[in-house]
């Protein structure tokens, strides 16, 4: 029985494509989890009244995937369900190739207070870290490994 010929370049390309797809899936999973974990402003929780015309969702709108350490900055608008942020991430992540560095960033001035200080009763302090670990655990298999 003879050996089947194989093309090392083809095999390497297939491996590279699979790894790139996995990196993209992980990036989208992390982005999706942090977007959906981000609280949406609800004036019923606030001590002071909401400004006239207030609508929540600006924090969710501002999660971005970028390829430079400082991305577009704070984006205008709201996205209470995260649809815009998620749709844009699905497009942006397609630009990721093997070996690229990309960032999941947030630019609203109060983002750190939401993420670390428990500024919203809708999300505990550390909710961003929890969302990242949860997303990664789907790929690694156990939160303790991360």
Q: What is the pLDDT of residues 52-98, one digit of tens each?
A: 888 899 999 999 998 877 777 899 999 999 999 999 999 999 999 88
Residue 2 falls inside a structural domain: no
Domain of residue 121, residue span? 8-145
Average the pLDDT over 44-51 and give the result.
86
Domain presence at residue 60: yes
Mean pLDDT of the chain, nearest integer? 89
Is residue 130 pLDDT above 90, yes or no?
yes
Q: Is residue 3 part of a domain?
A: no
Say yes or no to pLDDT of 143 above 60: no
pLDDT of residue 141: 64
Residue 145: pLDDT band by 50, 70, 90 thresholds? Answer: very low
Q: Is residue 96 part of a domain?
A: yes
Determine the average pLDDT of the residues in 27-35: 95
Kindly write down the DSSP assignment for every residue of 37-92, as one continuous string.
Answer: HS----GGG-SSPPPTT--S-HHHHTEEEESSSS-S-SPPS--TTSHHHHHHHHHH
Task: Indicate the pTM of the whole model.
Answer: 0.85
């Amino acid at each position: 029985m003879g050996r089947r010929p194989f093309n090392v370049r083809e095999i390497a390309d297939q491996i590279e494509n699979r790894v790139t797809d996995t990196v993209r899936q992980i990036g989208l999973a992390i982005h999706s989890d942090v977007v959906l974990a981000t609280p949406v402003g609800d004036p019923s929780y606030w001590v002071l009244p909401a400004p006239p015309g207030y609508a929540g969702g600006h924090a969710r709108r501002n999660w971005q995937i970028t390829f430079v350490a400082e991305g577009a900055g704070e984006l205008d608008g709201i996205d209470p369900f995260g649809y815009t942020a998620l749709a844009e991430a699905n497009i942006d992540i397609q630009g990721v190739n093997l070996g690229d560095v990309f960032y999941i960033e947030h630019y609203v001035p109060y983002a750190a207070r939401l993420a670390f200080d428990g500024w919203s009763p809708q999300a505990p302090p550390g909710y961003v870290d929890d969302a990242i670990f949860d997303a990664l655990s789907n790929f690694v298999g156990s939160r303790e490994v991360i």
